[in-house]
Structure 1
Amino acid sequence: MRKRAIFAALTAAAALGAFTVPAAYADETVGDIQITGVAVNGGKNIVVGTADTTVTASVTATDPSGIWDADFHLWRGTDPNNPDSYITPDQDTTSADCVAAGSTTSTCSKTFTFEPDWWLTNADAGTWKVGVDVWAEDDSRTHRDAYTTTRLQRLSKLTANAGPEPVGAGKTLTVTGKLTRANWDTGAYAGYTAQPVKLQFRKAGTSTYTTVKTVNTSSTGDLTTTVTASADGYWRWSFAGTTTTPAVSAAGDYVDVQ
């Protein structure tokens, strides 16, 4: 059975049965081995909707004898020996995929799969610490509990609709929309409430959107406002994002002003 999400609380651990948190150790390096870089998902935030999402963690390391293997773990909390949450790679019991860049340096990688329909919950969104172990051919080794961090976010969606279409110059134009994000507790999308979202306009024949005003989403994630129609162009909503939710902009809705 693959180990993935393991929560430090004893009650959660009991609920998971066979899942156990591997023992954590203090940062340690034995020999000449050195880590030169660690990245999860290519250094980008991990954004997960309601379907499984797989990302790659990689470490580049060097040792005079060459690199043999590597492993990773993601965790949350303040104590690596008692983490709030703990995730191990899909290939938890197999060797990493190591690609040599010469006789001394290799980049080793493994994958992590985030599964909203199994273990992922809304509370898991946020910053995770990235632990890494690397072994050299001569038994040199290094262990780092928190070499870097990665951010896990709930996928967001945003719509926009402006009307009436067409509209007379100087007349009132109503722009509506909705901001939603993945709810990992229910497996569906739900409105993101009380969030500031920018209404933007791009005049026909130009390439740049300009912010007209900022509107907060309702208790259901809905947006609505009115503006005065003055020129042909595209209207859209744009959300800057939060630590748990990525930025998103709606597709522009074209309005013909007559």
Structure 2
Amino acid sequence: MKLEHYARLSAEEKDALDALTQVRTRRVRSRDDIIREGDAPSVINVVLEGWACRYKTLEDGRRQIIAYLLPGDVCDFSAPVLREMDHSVGAITTVTLAEIAVESVGHLFATYPRLTQALCWDALTSVSIQREWTVNVGQRTAFERLGHLLCELFVRQRLLGLTRGGVCDLPLTQAEIADTIGLSVVHVNRTLQDLRSAGLISLGGRELTIHRLEALQRAVLFNPSYLHLGHEGRHLDAPPPNP
């Protein structure tokens, strides 16, 4: 579903993806690491169920979460070229992963060029999200940082068909949110109260409810263009122009 946002996949391409992600799977418990900084990657991990995150840890234990990984996301797309991981990937919830051999991905790329282009679109979108997170931490206010993150997580889940009206999962602790947007836990708690008081969101039972999405987007300067939701990949299906 995620890759079809970038290109319409044929039945053969979908079957190839299904076969690739069903060869070997494993489950990782909540808060355990999937792969650690310094490890030599031997497979490519794809999230099938659950939430994970990329993060970096300083020598004194301080942590920065640098990405959230949702179902359909690749944990370590750079595994074929890295000798060792330069960051860690940890499970937020219990996670089910597909472990894909590097050589299998190479075969996929060689056999299905349209699928390869869709995966490249996906990788470029991940880089775009990283740029937006840098702006978030560097320039936005606390209210904007937190609201922007919530908008992004909601929109990304909606793309996967995982939202229920204005409701989506949010299995994050306030400490994890703090490690994401560069605030203290106390500041995150106070900012959540501000968002609630404004009538924009509700939180409870590991669920986020956004009452007025457009109003929240305006309030926190959220422009979803960096998520590339405009089906740019659909041009891959267009017939060549007439000579």
TM range (shorter): under 0.3
Bigger radius of gyration? 1
Structure of higher RCO (CA pairs closer than 8 Å, 6+ residues apart): 2
Normalised by the length of structure 1, the TM-score is: 0.23
Normalised by the length of structure 2, the TM-score is: 0.24
The structure with the largest helix share of the pair is 2
